[in-house]
Structure 1
Amino acid sequence: MNHFPIFLALEGRRVLVAGGGDAAIAKLRLLLKTTARITVVAENASPEIRQWAEAGKLTLIDRAQEPGDALCCVVAYGAHEDVALDARTLRLAAADGALVNLVDNLEKSQFITPAIVDRDPVVVAIGTEGAAPVLARKIKADLEAKLSAQLGVLARIGKTFRKAADVLPMGAVRRRFWGEYYDMVGPRAAQDGEAAIRDALDTLLDKHVRAEAREGHVDLVGAGPGDPELLTLKARKALDKADVVIHDRLVTPEILELARREALILDVGKEGFGPSTAQSDIDALIVEHARKGAHVVRLKAGDPTVFGRLDEEIEALDAAGVSWSIVPGITAASAAVATIGQSLTKRSRNASVRFLTGHDMKGFADQDWAALAQPGEVAAIYMGKRAARWMQGRLMMHGAAAATDITIVENASRADQRIHAATLATLPDRMTQVDGPAVILFGLAPRAASIALSEREIAL
């Protein structure tokens, strides 16, 4: 990010626009929506700018820019549509202490003005750092269509009501009040005018003040394999509402970035055979925050119902009397097999698939290895790096062919994803090349390799 987005306080402060043509008019139409004191310096200002000056909306200096014109200005615009004149504006205004923007000159500008969706006092700024102005305009058009024209009225009235709402406890309780106002009560009341909105706010506040303190809620959410675009809509909505996010080690930063800025983010990551947070401590942490009235999102990589120790957390929540719901996610095996262009099941090959974890060796050792060793069988094996050699021996002891195809998908769906082709014979050696979390797809090769093998068999 080369341009840091901020909203400048302009009330009563000076802004300079140097230039009097179309580019200056475009900037002025936006600046005139503010409470700034606007000065235009131009030798040949357009009739529209002169009309604004006559109406007292700005001050017009009918000459070329001189040193000192930008003194005490917060920002200045070079809008001559002339490279030499704009360069002069940059030199003079910067010497006077102003930040300078040159219209259509990103490289020389000290700041940029974003595309804006205006629902005063709600303002949405959209910037692409000059890389894609057309995209910024498209996003602006999409937002214009989605944001109600009443949003500004609701925000203005809500602002006047903030002190009254301070009777509610800070945090989740107060956020619920404002959420209900902006989501439901306010828009409905706005149909009957501003007075109806104020009455509705009074009624809503009384309802929340009288309401008994209520406990929070826990969403047990699957974050998917890592790609934010594979996050479900329901998971995205849960993150939007979360007061507290308690996440695993494998949840990616890109997904955590989708949580509300005000949310408390807690890392309770576990690492196989490494540093870990005890499950009992995780259970206690979830319950603690829910009992304080927070909306808690317990965010688990993949799908919480697949090797996610979900039942233990549900039992803790039930014992504490805390409400919960499960939001499924895409499990790593689904992402991994999609990456290699294969299916987990296929007619005439395998009618079932096994999901195994090599982390819990006690359960892992009890698998029906003889059945899995049969030709055509498929398994997705999670957390199997340390158990790879043991698994190889157990399968070969039960008759599995050394040439059985295996694909190891490391960091499935992420930007640093890697695919390692192997066989049962080479599995342990291949696993030494794997650094990140991986799914072992037993019985599957990438589609291209699988097709090539079939063609060779037919030729023989």
Structure 2
Amino acid sequence: MDYFPLFCRLQGKRCLLVGAGDVAERKARLLLDAGADLHVGALDFSPAFQQWAQQGKVTLLQGTFTEAWLEACWLVIAATNDDAVNQRVGDAAEARRIFCNLVDAPQEASAIMPSIVDRSPLMIAVSSGGRAPVLARLLREKLEAMLPQHLGELAALAGSLRSRVKRTFASMAQRRAFWERFFASDRLAQTLANGDRPRAEHIINTLFDAPPSQRGEVVLVGAGPGDAGLLTLKGLQCIQQADVVVYDRLVSEPILNLVRRDAERIFVGKQAGHHCVPQAQINQLLLEQAQSGKRVVRLKGGDPFIFGRGGEELEILAQHNIAFSVVPGITAASGCAAYSGIPLTHRDHAQSVRFVTGHLQQHGEIEWDKLAAEQQTLVFYMGLNQAADIQQRLLQHGMDAAMPVAIVQHGTTPQQRVETATLAQLETLARQFVSPALIIVGRVVTLRDRLRWF
């Protein structure tokens, strides 16, 4: 280990920054965020430093570096564009036993400035010891993307509860179990993100008071249309925290590979005309798993609230006072259309878009006269087996037989297949496809030849 990682409290402590250019500005912002009593020495100062000085945030020392600037300093950063000046600052700091960071010369420095992920009070520092700063930055960017912004607030809240947890739970095992539930509670995290403190207090009290049989929760997660890259960041975080993942046929294998390795996976796949597991049984399964105290993710293709029956599943959980939350997903209509080069709306062709279930006989009468209107896009989910009926109804209600249509199969995946035709040809075209497939009807389909990229 070339450098000992250490977090220092700099509030009110004098720190010296030599240099006042762009690089120095970045260092200054970090020191100011840490509450340092910042002194900046340079021949000339950028507008940012001049503004900070006017606001009383920094003290400017104009001129060439002198050792007098080091008086009473706790930390020094040399960030000029002159290597000789930087080295002179480093040597002077070394003689006085003051830690010094030398920009662009980390091998000569006694201190390294890491790449920082700031979720105060939670702090993560990444350093390559100055050997690969770009790699450290890329790792920091990955961590920034993975860690939600409210994580610091969650950590601060945890700190305020430590004494209460110690009083409430006698054993270390009980405390550890509480903290696992606390940090894995998606409802609590979302409530904090929304700034709803009263509801957060209610959720915390529930975590303290609820018996083990009621401490499970269910998160309904939209997996998107297939491409694992379209899974939302929050969805990824949820499936990596789950004890149990209940998934259906439309969830792609690359997304399942992102599930925590030790999580239990339960397949409840359904397809048109054949339900592997009845919906009532799925509802009961979610209920039983949550009642046993597990963190359950119900992983659904697309978005769970768009023809995904997510609302039905949550109604059962609500009836039994099971904690639940929802993470929306990119719906199949949006993902498949985008990957096919078909905008769902367009100023010249469609001012609205309608999502329609293809299970026409099961969900009451559809207002076909409104669906057949111009200047809109229709997207039929699960409509492949009903293509003949869709074609007939739209034609009967006045839609142009030459209206462009497209069918997208295995949308957003490497196996994606897209074919276009006219409404008069829809029934014939549909016979060439197998589920899962989406039917898009509208003049926006004509834009595919110009906008396709997948």
TM-score calculated relative to the size of structure 1: 0.54
> Partners of 2:209 and 2:281 in 1: how far apart?
34
The alpha-carbon distance between structure 1 residues 236 and 179, as it changes in their structure 2 partners (threshold 3 A), is: closer
Aligned twin of 1:391: 390
Q: After the TM superposition, which of the residue ranges 270-279 and 230-239 deviates more from structure 2?
A: 270-279
Q: Measure how far apart 1:231 and its partner are.
A: 0.6
1:142 aligned to which of 139, 144, 158: 139
Aligned twin of 1:293: 293
The alpha-carbon distance between structure 1 residues 145 and 237, as it changes in their structure 2 partners (threshold 3 A), is: closer
Q: Deviations over 1:178-223 (max 9, x none)?
A: 989xxxxxxxxxxxxxxxxxxxxxxxxxxx9998535111111100
Query: Which amino acid in the other structure matches residue 339 of structure 1?
Result: Y
| Aligned 8 A contact 2:342 2:448 in 1 | no
Query: Which amino acid in the other structure matches residue 301 of structure 2?
Result: A
Query: Which amino acid in the other structure matches residue 408 of structure 1?
Result: I
Aligned twin of 2:433: 434
The alpha-carbon distance between structure 1 residues 271 and 377, as it changes in their structure 2 partners (threshold 3 A), is: same
Aligned twin of 2:265: 265
The alpha-carbon distance between structure 1 residues 146 and 427, as it changes in their structure 2 partners (threshold 3 A), is: closer
Aligned twin of 1:312: 312
Q: Measure how far apart 1:341 and its partner are.
A: 2.3
Does structure 1 residue 413 correspond to structure 2 residue 407?
no
Does structure 1 residue 355 correspond to structure 2 residue 382?
no
The alpha-carbon distance between structure 1 residues 166 and 350, as it changes in their structure 2 partners (threshold 3 A), is: same
> Partners of 2:430 and 2:261 in 1: how far apart?
38
> Partners of 1:311 and 1:141 in 2: how far apart?
39
Secondary structure of 1:422 counterpart: strand
> Partners of 1:144 and 1:386 in 2: how far apart?
46
| 1:62-101 matched pairs, under 5 angstroms | none
Q: Measure how far apart 1:445 and its partner are.
A: 1.7
| Aligned 8 A contact 2:351 2:375 in 1 | no
> Partners of 1:211 and 1:375 in 2: how far apart?
55
| Aligned 8 A contact 2:360 2:366 in 1 | no
> Equivalent pairs: percent with the same residue?
40
> Partners of 2:385 and 2:141 in 1: how far apart?
54
Q: Measure how far apart 1:375 and its partner are.
A: 3.1
| Aligned 8 A contact 2:332 2:411 in 1 | yes
| Aligned 8 A contact 2:407 2:438 in 1 | yes
Secondary structure of 1:343 counterpart: coil
Does structure 1 residue 328 correspond to structure 2 residue 325?
no
> Partners of 1:178 and 1:318 in 2: how far apart?
22
Aligned twin of 1:445: 445
The alpha-carbon distance between structure 1 residues 323 and 423, as it changes in their structure 2 partners (threshold 3 A), is: same
The alpha-carbon distance between structure 1 residues 146 and 234, as it changes in their structure 2 partners (threshold 3 A), is: closer
Query: Which amino acid in the other structure matches residue 346 of structure 1?
Result: H
Aligned twin of 1:113: none
Structure 1 segments, 4+ long, off by >6 Å, are 143-147, 177-180, 208-211
Q: Measure how far apart 1:342 and its partner are.
A: 2.9
Q: Measure how far apart 1:366 and its partner are.
A: 1.6
| Aligned 8 A contact 1:410 1:417 in 2 | yes
> Partners of 1:169 and 1:310 in 2: how far apart?
33
RMSD: 3.6
| 1:135-174 matched pairs, under 5 angstroms | 138=135, 142=139, 167=173
The alpha-carbon distance between structure 1 residues 327 and 366, as it changes in their structure 2 partners (threshold 3 A), is: same
The alpha-carbon distance between structure 1 residues 345 and 165, as it changes in their structure 2 partners (threshold 3 A), is: same
| Aligned 8 A contact 1:216 1:322 in 2 | yes
| Aligned 8 A contact 2:247 2:268 in 1 | yes
The alpha-carbon distance between structure 1 residues 165 and 209, as it changes in their structure 2 partners (threshold 3 A), is: farther
| Aligned 8 A contact 1:218 1:290 in 2 | yes
> Partners of 1:402 and 1:249 in 2: how far apart?
34
Q: Deviations over 1:417-447 (max 9, x none)?
A: 0101111111111111112311111113252
The alpha-carbon distance between structure 1 residues 405 and 319, as it changes in their structure 2 partners (threshold 3 A), is: same
Q: After the TM superposition, which of the residue ranges 348-357 and 302-311 deviates more from structure 2?
A: 348-357
Aligned twin of 2:240: 240
> Partners of 1:413 and 1:165 in 2: how far apart?
50
Aligned twin of 1:281: 281
The alpha-carbon distance between structure 1 residues 344 and 209, as it changes in their structure 2 partners (threshold 3 A), is: closer
Runs (5+) with no aligned partner, structure 1:
1-28, 30-134, 148-163, 181-207, 452-460
Aligned twin of 1:223: 223
The alpha-carbon distance between structure 1 residues 311 and 142, as it changes in their structure 2 partners (threshold 3 A), is: closer
Does structure 1 residue 403 correspond to structure 2 residue 420?
no
| Aligned 8 A contact 1:345 1:353 in 2 | yes
Q: Measure how far apart 1:269 and its partner are.
A: 1.0
The alpha-carbon distance between structure 1 residues 298 and 403, as it changes in their structure 2 partners (threshold 3 A), is: same
| Aligned 8 A contact 1:246 1:265 in 2 | yes
> Partners of 2:171 and 2:260 in 1: how far apart?
21
The alpha-carbon distance between structure 1 residues 310 and 177, as it changes in their structure 2 partners (threshold 3 A), is: closer
Q: Measure how far apart 1:289 and its partner are.
A: 0.8
Query: Which amino acid in the other structure matches residue 262 of structure 2?
Result: E
| Aligned 8 A contact 1:173 1:293 in 2 | no
Q: Measure how far apart 1:377 and its partner are.
A: 2.8
> Partners of 1:227 and 1:448 in 2: how far apart?
20
Q: Deviations over 1:257-303 (max 9, x none)?
A: 11111111101111110243111110110011111111110111000
Q: Deviations over 1:138-160 (max 9, x none)?
A: 5897379969xxxxxxxxxxxxx
Query: Which amino acid in the other structure matches residue 389 of structure 2?
Result: W
Aligned twin of 1:342: 342
| Aligned 8 A contact 1:225 1:302 in 2 | yes
Secondary structure of 2:424 counterpart: coil
The alpha-carbon distance between structure 1 residues 178 and 343, as it changes in their structure 2 partners (threshold 3 A), is: closer
Runs (5+) with no aligned partner, structure 2:
2-131, 145-169, 186-206
Q: Measure how far apart 1:359 and its partner are.
A: 2.3
Q: Deviations over 1:357-402 (max 9, x none)?
A: 1125233x62221222233331010110110001111111112121
| Aligned 8 A contact 1:407 1:446 in 2 | no
Aligned twin of 1:55: none
> Partners of 2:303 and 2:266 in 1: how far apart?
19
The alpha-carbon distance between structure 1 residues 374 and 288, as it changes in their structure 2 partners (threshold 3 A), is: same
Matched pairs, number: 277
